[in-house]
């Protein structure tokens, strides 16, 4: 049988509120994350140096808190793929390959330094080759003229010998 006096001892009354303490925030350790740091440095190079914007403006534009990039840098953490997609949509001319890996050229459709140097050298080389070919053509014409003179002289010698 149940004792009526002990019925509510183990249960909390409806008027009691349960107060949970928030778990203490753990401070992220500054672990080595060279990829996040290098990526952020490349992003800063483009946004600040090339576009003249600030990372704060970019953060607001992609819908994150204005201190997002400062926090990423301070905590040495990575930028999430969802944020990277937003960044690349915001700057469609920015090369994903360059931003993520640091390889290739900064801008989509831009030429690498090697390509530019090759083009520059080729642009200088073409007129020089044209001049050389013209000089060569003149030399060939002179040689042909000399060969004809030799052939005529040879025929003259043959006629004189008869």
**What is the arithmetic mean of pLDDT over 14-25?**
56
Q: At what angle do helices 34-44 and 68-75 cross, to 10 degrees?
A: 140
27 pLDDT band (50/70/90 cuts)?
very low
Q: Residue 132: its pLDDT value, please?
A: 85
Q: What is the pTM of this model?
A: 0.50
Q: Residue 18: its pLDDT value, please?
A: 59
31 pLDDT band (50/70/90 cuts)?
very low
The pLDDT tens digits for 52-107 are 999 999 999 999 999 999 999 999 888 999 999 999 999 999 999 999 999 988 98
Domain coordinates in residue numbering, the chain = 31-108, 111-162
- For the domain spanning 31-108, the CATH number is 1.10.260.40
Q: Residue 115: its pLDDT value, please?
A: 59
More confident residue, 128 or 88: 88
Q: Residue 16: its pLDDT value, please?
A: 58
Q: Residue 66: its pLDDT value, please?
A: 94
The 3-state secondary structure of the chain reads: CCCHHHCCCCCCCCCCCCCCCCCCCCCCCCCCCHHHHHHHHHHHHHHHHHCCCCHHHHHHHCCCCCCHHHHHHHHCCCCCHHHHHHHHHHCCCECHHHHHHCCCCCECCCCCHHHHHHHHHHHHHHHHHHHHHHHHHHHHHHHHHHHHHHHHHHHHHHHHHC
What proportion of the chain, given as a percentage, has pLDDT over 90?
A: 38
């Amino acid at each position: 049988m149940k004792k009526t006096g002990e019925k509510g001892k183990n249960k909390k009354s409806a008027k009691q509120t349960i107060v949970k303490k928030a778990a203490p925030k753990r401070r992220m350790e500054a672990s080595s994350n060279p990829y996040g740091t290098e990526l952020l440095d490349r992003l800063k190079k483009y946004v600040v140096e090339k576009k003249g914007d600030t990372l704060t403006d970019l953060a607001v534009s992609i819908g994150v808190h204005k201190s997002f990039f400062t926090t990423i840098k301070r905590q040495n953490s990575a930028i999430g793929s969802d944020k990277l997609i937003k960044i690349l949509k915001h700057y469609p001319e920015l090369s994903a390959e360059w931003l993520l890996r640091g390889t290739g050229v900064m801008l989509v459709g831009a030429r690498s330094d090697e390509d530019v140097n090759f083009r520059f050298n080729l642009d200088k080389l073409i007129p020089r080759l044209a001049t050389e070919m013209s000089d060569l053509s003149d030399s060939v014409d002179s040689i042909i003229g000399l060969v004809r003179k030799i052939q005529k002289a040879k025929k003259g010698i043959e006629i004189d010998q008869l």
